[in-house]
Structure 1
Amino acid sequence: MAIQLRPSQALRLWQQTSLAEVRGQRPDLTERQMAILLTIYLDPPPHTVRGLADRLGVTKPVITRALDTMGAMKLVSRHRDERDRRNVLIKRTVEGALFVERFGDVVVAKAQELPL
């Protein structure tokens, strides 16, 4: 099932979703942080700092800074890879899973409000 949206509808959906997030007093993530979070939760693990940097086309320090913020919010956690101590594995958390699921619910609800 393909959903057909005009550009103005897609932008309205993005705006309404963003407004709902701002009004909802939930963690305020940047575009980059949201892209990282959704990659961690929607793409199959394992996730590493290096792998996320490659996937998003940014540097490892950029990923590290974003993960610092999201870790403080308990949306993700980091652990050393026991098989290769040079790697840092990024793990999902219950709080992060609930955040992503709720965000998906908001997107669906706002899409259903779009005028046809």
Structure 2
Amino acid sequence: MPLDPTPTAALGLWHHVTLLQVKDDARDLTLRQLAILLHVYLVPPPHTVRGLAGTLNVTKPVITRALNTMGEMGLVDRVRDDLDRRNVLVKRTVAGALYLEKLGDLIIHQARMMRG
């Protein structure tokens, strides 16, 4: 795949990566859950439910449902903010970091495969 891919090539890469994720035995994430997870890991903390809702332009219950699922998977943790007990902080986990590292490796591998 070229360094400056066409939209079709970029979509082809995304297609291959998502197919491999769905074929994997592990539970897959919705696009919203993946966006939340990437935000938590790629944007410096702190991350709050309220902040994530604002960033994704959704309600707090939408974020809470996504975090419930990702918490069950061990990808994130939630704790009360000691400085402001009204806030719930979203914390990174080792399992979440490993999930995204594996995803990143998969994207790199597929991009190289498409380059030929």
Shorter chain as denominator, the TM-score bin is over 0.9
Q: Which amino acid aligns with 1:10?
A: A
2:74 paired with 1:90 = no
Q: Which amino acid aligns with 1:56?
A: L
User: What is the RMSD of the two structures over their aligned residues, measured on CA atoms?
Assistant: 1.3
Q: How many Å apart are 1:3 and its aligned residue?
A: 2.6
Matched with 2:105 is: 105
Matched with 1:10 is: 10
Structure-to-structure mapping, 1:20-59, within 5 angstroms: 20-59=20-59
Greater RCO structure (CA 8 Å; 6+ sep): 2
Q: Which amino acid aligns with 1:90?
A: V
Q: Which runs of 5+ in 1 are unaligned?
A: none
Task: Give me the TM-score of the superposition, normalised by structure 2.
Answer: 0.95
* Alpha-carbon separation, structure 2, partners of 1:115 and 1:108: 11
* Alpha-carbon separation, structure 2, partners of 1:66 and 1:115: 35
Q: What secondary structure sits across from 1:79 in the alignment?
A: strand
* Alpha-carbon separation, structure 1, partners of 2:96 and 2:3: 27
Structure 1 vs Structure 2: percent identity of aligned residues? 57
Count of residue pairs brought into register by the alignment: 115
Q: Which runs of 5+ in 2 are unaligned?
A: none
CA deviation profile, 1:22-68 (whole Å, cap 9, x unmatched): 12212210000000000001110110000101111111110000000
Q: Which amino acid aligns with 1:38?
A: L
* Runs of 4+, deviation exceeding 6 Å: none
Q: What secondary structure sits across from 2:85 in the alignment?
A: coil
Q: How many Å apart are 1:20 and its aligned residue?
A: 1.1
